[in-house]
Structure 1
Amino acid sequence: MQFREIIRQALYSLGANRLRSALTVMGVAVGVFSIIGVMTALEAVNKSVETGLTSLGANTFQIQKYPATVFGSGHRRNQYINRQDITYPQALVFRKTMEGKASTIGFMLSSQANQAKYADRTTNPDVVLTGGDENFSASNGYPIEKGRNLTTNDIRYATNAAVIGSELAATLFTQGENPLNHSIRVGGEVYRVSGIFAKKGAAFGQSQDNFLLIPITRYLNHVKESGSINITVEASSRKTYSRTLDHAVGSMRITRGLTIREPNDFEIRTNESLIDSFRDIERAISTGAFIISFMALLTAGVGIMNIMLVSVTERTKEIGIRKSIGAPQNSILRQFLLEALILSLAGGLIGAAAGTATGNLVALQFNLPPIFPLLWITISMAVCSAIGIGFGLFPAWKAANLNPVEALKGK
């Protein structure tokens, strides 16, 4: 029998039991969907992490109260919550002790979900209000596009000057309108726009341009009296990075009054620590996805074997007739193997398509271009082929070795 005829017979046999075939296909699709969806989403997040790390320069690190991510029990989370805030006076002492040991040291303190108003225009309540010093722009990689940066006098006298992000400027002011020296209102406070930051783009799916920067002293006096300061330290070069980091840890321990036996009660956030945190999350999610996929595909493989055994039983007379008129064993073997392979590959293709689409929904949230996980799709198709052949081999062998006389009797 020609291979094309074997394919036609296999498709006809599967089509004769559409519901049973569809349920078997969906079992394979679920397993492939889980792994493709997760891996596509992780690839999207991974690219977002790489983009987001540009917010910390190669020679920059941050000192803050909380780690970048917190895993573990409630006791461990309480450990961070119960830490003393890094206060503004402490930050000033830290800067004094680090004189000559770092290129720039900037302070910042932020609050989320603010609404900005100008004239009759109002933003969504998603504006970030940041209190910072004159070094915020340099230490956090925010160049000024128009106007001026905050000055030491703005910080000393807690002026109402504000430098706004490009997205906030585009929302509040019409095209061609110059925002400089105009007053905007946020949370009952009025700020005069002194400058506009250059566009920075999104990181981790969040805009980095929908915010306004005001003097940290005004923030503490008029917005929020308490809060933990984030300190951004920039080393003068990559060669001095490690030395600057060591000096910063020592200086912060002295500033916080820690003894030699007490552990650090603050966190150092570096590009490496962010990558390590993401890798921990990635490994945990990947492991879970592999376990789910393995169980789903194993169940689907058993389903394929079951449907093929049932098919052999139902088609005993058909097999007997074919063998009685000279059909070779390998022809029958190939047909039943092909039916199992078609079921498995059909499920794999459906799962891969659905998983890729779902993963790209995550990529869309991170403002990333569409992702096509060719490697994982190829691996999934290879695994589906192995499942189809592996679990279809016994039913196919059983069909090929039926005694034609007994098969014609329907036994």
Structure 2
Amino acid sequence: MWCSSTNSIALTAYTYLTIFDLFSLITCLISYWVMVKKPSPVYSFGFERFEVLAVFASTVLAQLGALFILKESAERFLEQPEIHTGRLLVGTFVALFFNLFTMLSVRNKPFAYVSEAASTSWLQEHVADLSRSICGIIPGLSSIFLPRMNPFVLIDIAGALALCITYMLIEINNYYAVDTASAIAIALMTFGTMYPMSVYSGKVLLQTTPPHVFGQLDKLLREVSTLDGVLEVRNEHFWTLGFGTLAGSVHVRIRRDANEQMVLAHVANRLYTLVSTLTVQIFKDDWIRPTLSSVPIANNMLNLSDHHVITMPSLKAADNLNPTTSTPAKPSSPPPEFSFNTPGKNVNPVILLNAQTRPYGLGLNHGSTPYSGVLNQGFGIPGVGATQGFRTGFTNVPSRYGTNTRGQSRP
């Protein structure tokens, strides 16, 4: 009502700050509701993102209002109307009192956190430079001016000061264009103050990781990777769940003989210092590498009678096998989680070592030993004693073995 009676667009721009303060009160109520609300099966992480959304919406609406003021001010430069100053100064002080009372009396946790975590606005930087200059002349004011000022209080005081200057210039010289200039100044200060906060809250909504915690997270992950039993830490993902709340998930691969619960407790104890909502998935290293000899054997070192040639079973169709793994190539099945470059069923026959290498001409006995042992895969070999067993990685091995020098099978 006072804005229309005075015909002042600068007072209208300052009134938009009052509307923003009303939105901040609504955000404070949402924050209190989130505090008492417990997580549900639908919102398993809680409702903290509602207050982030409220801050983002409030700052974006304030910026849209500033853009509207800039558009109206550009139109007023073409045709400047007359400004009535009867209620201009009264409306300014009423709005200033309401804005300061709202910002200083109510403990608004979301906006307090955003104002500290977001980057400084250009208005704060200029005021900080001016404060350092003043404190250089009067050192006693350093405790008042040097700390970082609240951006909302700063814009309220700056807007009220612009309206007071407008009132004086219109009363003295009837210079109505200063009202439009003050409106543009208030709109620019509003946009510059709200923009860093909207960017910060928008990044939280996009589930990004805050840059200032990169070093701490990297240090914690290195500590986790050195825990007893941990082989690998992978697929780590951390994001900001709410203001001051960090969530994350990580996959940990451990040894086969490691205690899952013990490793889980140690990992959670390390990461809980920074990540309040954590999901840890433990994988055991169950992959067994077969002990195979794939290097060429020197003729002057080994005799083929010390080895056993295993005839491989018939291969399946080539289209059902994958050349890099021994599993059938199914388009719908995902690749194995831990992939090693090990031979499978589609390789040529291999020679399995049965005893240690023995050079010729040393008078060693090369005769056969009585049948007294079996391999650890469940099948016996005639003429072999209790020697070292070897895992072949094959399930269907024929029961025919040869002992002649050419490695031919004998019935």
TM-score past 0.5 threshold: no
In proportion to residue count, which structure has more helix?
Answer: 1
TM-score by length of 1: 0.26
Query: Using CA pairs below 8 Å that are at least 6 residues apart, which structure has the higher relative contact order?
Result: 1
Q: Report the TM-score, using the length of structure 2 for normalisation.
A: 0.26
Q: Which has the larger radius of gyration?
A: 2
